[in-house]
Structure 1
């Protein structure tokens, strides 16, 4: 009798192991080599939070996808439609996460199918804690179950927040979800969002594809709030020294874009977009794509500026010269080119008269202005404005930039 019981037990155990292999076996899991090959350039897309907060729905997401295609944003390189917090309302009797049936009546699989039919990819949001930042169910204790569910729905991108973290070790918490994503069998881009509190740039590579370095952005050029919101210049200053940690498949995340939400001037929004492209950070629009004016569309779809962000060399710009409130940033590009951004942080016009030979920007063998002549192209005017053999003279407006690309003549 004992022998029979033992044999049955072994059979059940083997059955469980076979079942486990069906979900977690090597033949199904995404290997590190595939996972790490994702996001070779900074991801581009749209996220619901900055404009809509908790007011998300199936109809809204479909309309944003349609607008991304029809506005020309897809053609400019944007591809992810990301639903932030508040899409989930609970878990069923087996622990599966439940989308809000009122606002997402057809479920996430049908929504993903629609997004994919538009040639786009769907992103979703969860949290490393027991609850999300808006009190919805988080993924703590359900990481592998949630990742399998996301894979079954056809999710392509996961933003993973840090509210209600209950004192967890951040690296371990994000490693667990990273492992769950890999075991899900679907290549999902993983966005670490713990606000830079635990220096994720030091450990995030191989765990995620990007990591937030600051608290939430606010629609202002320079501002700070007691509860953690920061403005554009504050984020730039935090990003300045993090360039060694960025590269293909692993990016410092400067937060979502506020362009089009009305809190800044046109010149400030141009600076916001220019510097995000120089800093090789993900470009996640945060406005209402259905109602963009010509100015907003012009900024968000400037392909010459976007090409600097998407450059395959994958280097983050460095602050080459800091003259107090006037700065020069430089970003080496593929094919021996260079992007340079003159940033005017002041309230007055910068009357620039720049001698390229006197104040040489030099990057080893990549760029050498003393040995070669470079054509200078203004990426906002879309025209060549001279060469490095002569001084560059122009007026840079308050809170504005001159962003140029240098190509060997």
Structure 2
């Protein structure tokens, strides 16, 4: 009620009534899910972490199995995983392409925070709102709806239908019941697709399905622009070698076997969703900074120098991590750096703004301090030897007591 000046709603929220509301909703009434908005908390200037943690504690005293959704209209911070099973990452969605593009853009680089039963919530779906100006626009075209639903599925967002089911077009119903797309969302690995390639204005997203580091992956080609976009995707960038079987999940049809790369031209405001099965899964050699987990990251905008995923047209994938370091806890972490056999590797780190800065590189607890990063602020690179164990390795980058350089990416090559 805050936003339409309805004074009847003042003091009627959960704030100040947490124990009694928890008992009523989850004890007396037996509900098992709640989405908690932040309108009153925003107006009163409350602390997000304190408020949602207090609510969670009150709920746990009644029923610890309740699923909580944090609706703070931004990625609230890594503390959210201890309180909620899902959290909104954007402002409210509306039924037009500009809104959809904005929401997807907010989630493109949040894959590190999803998984293990916790998910980035892209808001309720606006499928089926054709020619309805009351929901912020005239609705989506069938092609836009395909992109909408497929992206929610491959990015493992909760799937909530927000339209009037009585007026649902047949094509929308067919899309919402596409079992092959839904399988991406409900895959037991629970992973969110990450951006493997960003060239021109198109994005290629990928994630493992069915088995981690197996030979089957889900891939999306996403064109958010108002013009056609051509894609040329080397299978090596998807960690595949040899022939690759490709299936179109929207059309539910096999496209055949391909080798080398996959090429496709997509119309404006569209996406294509594929199941790819390769002959051989390659050991990855490139790790982008935007794939990293940042323990101090949030999107609340309260800290002008808080660690961020930032656009950089000269960086690999056009993204980097900035405002890294300054305290021991402000690091970037890649938790699943994979080596088939382990051993000695050459790590090449690509960075910018190295002048006067230092970098600490932690590989499975072994720290290398790099003090000489050049005397300018342009894009640069430096190589160090590292030792990896067979399987998954954890690599961190930061600087305990000073700013670290902005990180673009790093590569790993087996030492001869």
The TM-score by the shorter chain falls in which range?
0.5 to 0.7
Q: 1:255 to 1:141 in 2, by over 3 A?
A: same
- Kept in 2, the 8 Å contact 1:219–1:264? The answer is yes
- Kept in 1, the 8 Å contact 2:233–2:263? The answer is no
CA distance in 2, matches of 1:183, 1:279: 32
What secondary structure, in the 3-state scheme, does the structure 1 residue paired with 2:82 have?
Answer: coil
Alpha-carbon shift at residue 387 of structure 1 (Å) = 2.2
Which of 44, 52, 59 lines up with 1:174 in the alignment? 52
- What does residue 66 of structure 2 align with? 188
CA distance in 2, matches of 1:382, 1:334: 18
- Kept in 1, the 8 Å contact 2:201–2:229? The answer is no
CA distance in 2, matches of 1:278, 1:348: 23
Matched ranges for 1:98-109 at <5 A: none
5+ long unaligned stretches in structure 2: 131-138, 280-416
What secondary structure, in the 3-state scheme, does the structure 2 residue paired with 1:147 have?
Answer: helix
Q: Deviations over 1:300-351 (max 9, x none)?
A: 1111111111111122111111123212111222222211111112323335
Q: 1:138 to 1:214 in 2, by over 3 A?
A: same
- What does residue 21 of structure 2 align with? 146
Which of 378, 396, 399 lines up with 2:266 in the alignment? 396
- Determine whether 1:369 maps to 2:240: yes
Q: Deviations over 1:273-309 (max 9, x none)?
A: 1111121111111111222121110121111111111
What secondary structure, in the 3-state scheme, does the structure 1 residue paired with 2:222 have?
Answer: strand
Which range moves more in the overlay, 133-142 or 199-208? 133-142
- Kept in 2, the 8 Å contact 1:204–1:211? The answer is yes
CA distance in 2, matches of 1:387, 1:247: 31
Per residue, is there more helix in 1 or in 2?
1
Query: Aligned-residue CA RMSD in angstroms?
Result: 2.4
Alpha-carbon shift at residue 135 of structure 1 (Å) = 5.5
Matched ranges for 1:153-232 at <5 A: 153-165=29-41, 166-185=44-63, 187-196=65-74, 199-222=75-98, 231-232=99-100
Which of 118, 136, 147 lines up with 1:271 in the alignment? 147
Which of 226, 229, 237 lines up with 2:105 in the alignment? 237
Alpha-carbon shift at residue 139 of structure 1 (Å) = 0.8
Q: 1:186 to 1:351 in 2, by over 3 A?
A: closer
- Kept in 1, the 8 Å contact 2:240–2:278? The answer is no
CA distance in 1, matches of 2:81, 2:38: 18
Q: 1:167 to 1:402 in 2, by over 3 A?
A: same
CA distance in 1, matches of 2:46, 2:149: 34
- Determine whether 1:324 maps to 2:200: yes
Which of 248, 252, 269 lines up with 2:116 in the alignment? 248
- What does residue 257 of structure 1 align with? 125
What secondary structure, in the 3-state scheme, does the structure 2 residue paired with 1:181 have?
Answer: helix
Alpha-carbon shift at residue 394 of structure 1 (Å) = 4.2
Q: Deviations over 1:248-268 (max 9, x none)?
A: 221111111101111111111
CA distance in 1, matches of 2:68, 2:221: 33
CA distance in 2, matches of 1:296, 1:144: 41
CA distance in 1, matches of 2:7, 2:80: 21
- Kept in 2, the 8 Å contact 1:248–1:312? The answer is no
Larger RCO, structures 1/2 (Cα 8 Å, 6+ apart): 1
- What does residue 289 of structure 1 align with? 165
Matched residue count: 262
- Determine whether 1:302 maps to 2:199: no
CA distance in 1, matches of 2:7, 2:244: 50
